[in-house]
């Protein structure tokens, strides 16, 4: 799941050049803005059928945090 | 699950009125340079908004003009109107109810049922359910549903998370009892746990207007507002919208055995293009059936569904029979969906004052 998620994450934000990995703090990415935020929420909904509410999203820092949150909610 | 079916009542006409002043988002300094502003316009779908600005125009003034036009075009007489419901969160006064003031301004008789309802984005659908239920036994024959907001007044012009999205509009819908009308069906929902996602913190009775209410603070980096300005938690509203709106539509269609193919137009609350398109794609509806008025008017809160019908569908609905699904979602958090049929809908061009 991790590799697939990284690929989806990269595609969603069109991060062609940037290096990202599981420990990347996504808010620190160049060009991260409110639309990036909504695009990631929508991608997670589309691909994993999981909706992370805004308040819960605030506690998630790294890409790995997102993956763990999806896994937790899929159970 | 909250569902409702109403027989013998139909929507005869829908009209809308907006202030003539237009503000273009490409010219807004808070959105950054032109390139950034264009990116904003592309994702939200909001190119311009009609605003009351400093004109002193209230929601009730916009609704009044829309109502006068509709009464005239339908050849109704004001004295024949038995009930008036005003749905808004930008009323004239703390008290009395704006519907009472409108009863007199419109020249309706004193035997008229008048009621204010406080709801925002979901307001038109709720209002339609209330007025139609009221009229379903056939004692009251003609009703006016006046719905709108001037939410621009409640936004800080230094808050790019809210200000460029919202426009002002007032609408009127003419509702009539008829033994020959088809049913209207509704689905409703509420999640008050999310009440802080869209709110004006002070000026009500929980947090009364006080000496600090007008003090402007930096709420987030680069975003300034005071406690009488409205807050919008975009991501929270987005998660809510893309989850509840499709569910509400599907459960309504399922409950009453209506297929998507039977619906001619799906009119959604105009939140923003990015969110509305996610909802549309989740529901797998072709874009031809989903009109938008965001481009010209922005998000007009409770007015957005009737304004979209009046501005985008008027020529199609003026003649013939059509089945419309509406779905509205937002402040509350509150949502509702409805399916109803119209026949030769009286739908004049949008008025500007």
What domain count does chain B have?
1
Q: Tell me the C-alpha distance between A8 and B205, whole Å.
A: 47
ω into B333 cis (within 30 of 0): yes
Please report which confidence band the pLDDT of residue B327 belongs to, taking 50, 70 and 90 as the band edges: very high
Mean pLDDT of B71-88: 97
Q: Check residue B105 and give its pLDDT.
A: 98
Longest dimension (CA), chain A: 34
Name which of B233, B237, B242 is nearest A51 (Cβ-Cβ).
B242
User: Touching check for B271 and chain A: CB below 8 Å?
Assistant: no
User: Touching check for A42 and chain B: CB below 8 Å?
Assistant: yes
Nearest alpha carbon to residue B65 among B145, B171, B166, B163: B171
Q: Tell me the C-alpha distance between A42 and B238, whole Å.
A: 9
Which residues from chain B sit within 8 angstroms of residue A34, using beta carbons?
161, 234-235
User: Touching check for A41 and chain B: CB below 8 Å?
Assistant: yes
Which residues from chain A sit within 8 angstroms of residue B244, using beta carbons?
none
CATH of the domain at B133: 3.40.47.10
Asked if pLDDT for residue B134 goes beyond 90, the answer is yes
Asked if pLDDT for residue B127 goes beyond 90, the answer is yes
Asked if pLDDT for residue A55 goes beyond 80, the answer is no
Q: Which H or E run contains B113?
A: strand B113-117
Contact B269, B121 (CB under 8 A): yes
Which residues from chain A sit within 8 angstroms of residue B238, using beta carbons?
38, 41-42, 54
The 3-state secondary structure of B131-162, one letter per residue: HHHHHCCCCCCEEEEEEEECHHHHCCCCCCCC
Can you read off the two tokens belonging to residue B328?
A: 């509205």
Q: Check residue A74 and give its pLDDT.
A: 86
Mean pLDDT of A56-72: 91
Tell me if B237 and A42 make a contact (CB, 8 A cut-off).
no
Q: Check residue A36 and give its pLDDT.
A: 86
Domain range for B327: 1-353
> How many C-beta atoms surround the C-beta of residue B35 within 10 A?
8
Q: Which of A23-37, B64-78, B218-232, B298-312 is predicted least confidently?
A: A23-37
Nearest alpha carbon to residue A24 among A68, A64, A70, A72: A64
Predicted complex ipTM: 0.77
Contact B339, B323 (CB under 8 A): yes
Contact B167, B50 (CB under 8 A): yes
- Dihedral angle computed from the Cα positions of residues B165, B220, B29 and B54, in that order, rounded to the nearest 10 degrees: 60
Asked if pLDDT for residue A35 goes beyond 90, the answer is no
Q: Tell me the C-alpha distance between B76 and B12, whole Å.
A: 11
Cα of A9 vs its chain's centroid, Å: 6
As a residue count, chain B comes to 353
User: Touching check for A45 and chain B: CB below 8 Å?
Assistant: yes
Q: Check residue B91 and give its pLDDT.
A: 97
Mean pLDDT of B116-145: 98
Sign of CA dihedral B128, B151, B101, B56: negative
Q: Check residue A56 and give its pLDDT.
A: 82
User: What is residue B88's three-state secondary structure?
Assistant: coil
Asked if pLDDT for residue B128 goes beyond 80, the answer is yes
Tell me if A38 and B237 make a contact (CB, 8 A cut-off).
no
Digit-coded pLDDT (tens) for B148-205: 999 999 999 999 999 999 999 999 999 999 998 999 999 999 999 999 999 999 999 9
Mean pLDDT of B242-262: 96
CATH number of A2-74: 1.10.1200.10
């Amino acid at each position: 799941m991790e590799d697939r998620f990284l690929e989806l994450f990269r595609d969603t934000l069109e991060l062609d050049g940037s290096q990202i990995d599981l420990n990347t703090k996504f808010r620190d990415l160049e060009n991260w803005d409110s639309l990036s935020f909504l695009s990631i929420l929508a991608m997670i909904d589309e691909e994993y059928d999981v909706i992370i509410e805004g308040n819960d999203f605030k506690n998630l820092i790294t890409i790995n945090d997102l993956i763990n949150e999806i896994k937790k909610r899929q159970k | 699950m909250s569902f409702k079916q109403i027989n013998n009542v139909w929507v005869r006409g829908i009209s809308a009125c907006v202030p003539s002043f237009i503000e273009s988002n490409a010219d807004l300094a808070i959105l950054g340079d032109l390139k950034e502003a264009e990116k904003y316009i592309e994702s939200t779908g909001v190119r311009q908004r009609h605003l009351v600005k400093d004109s002193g125009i209230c929601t009730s003034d916009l609704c009044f003009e829309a109502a006068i036009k509709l009464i005239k075009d339908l050849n109704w007489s004001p004295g024949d109107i038995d009930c008036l419901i005003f749905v808004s969160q930008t009323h004239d006064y703390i008290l009395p109810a704006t519907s009472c003031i409108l009863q007199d301004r419109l020249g309706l008789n004193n035997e008229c049922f008048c009621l204010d309802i406080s709801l925002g984005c979901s307001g038109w659908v709720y209002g339609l359910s209330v007025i139609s239920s009221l009229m379903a036994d056939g004692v009251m024959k003609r009703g006016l549903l006046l719905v709108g907001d001037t939410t621009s007044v409640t936004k800080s012009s230094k808050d790019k998370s809210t200000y460029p999205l919202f426009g002002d509009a007032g609408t009127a819908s003419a509702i009539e009892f008829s033994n020959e009308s088809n049913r209207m069906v509704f689905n409703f929902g509420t999640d008050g746990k999310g009440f802080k996602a869209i709110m004006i913190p002070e000026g009500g009775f929980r947090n009364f207007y006080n000496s600090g209410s007008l003090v402007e603070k930096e709420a987030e980096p680069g975003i300034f507002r005071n406690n009488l300005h409205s807050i919008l938690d975009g991501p929270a509203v987005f998660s809510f919208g893309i989850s509840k709106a499709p569910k509400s539509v599907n459960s309504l269609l399922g409950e009453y055995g209506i297929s998507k193919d039977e619906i001619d137009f799906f009119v959604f609350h105009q939140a923003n293009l990015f969110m509305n398109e996610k909802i549309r794609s989740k529901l797998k509806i072709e874009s031809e059936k989903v009109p938008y008025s965001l481009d010209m008017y922005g998000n007009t809160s409770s007015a957005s569904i009737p304004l979209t019908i009046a501005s985008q569908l008027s020529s199609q609905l003026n003649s013939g029979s059509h089945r419309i699904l509406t779905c509205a979602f937002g402040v509350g958090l509150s949502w509702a969906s409805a399916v109803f049929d119209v026949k030769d809908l009286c739908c004049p061009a949008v008025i500007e004052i």
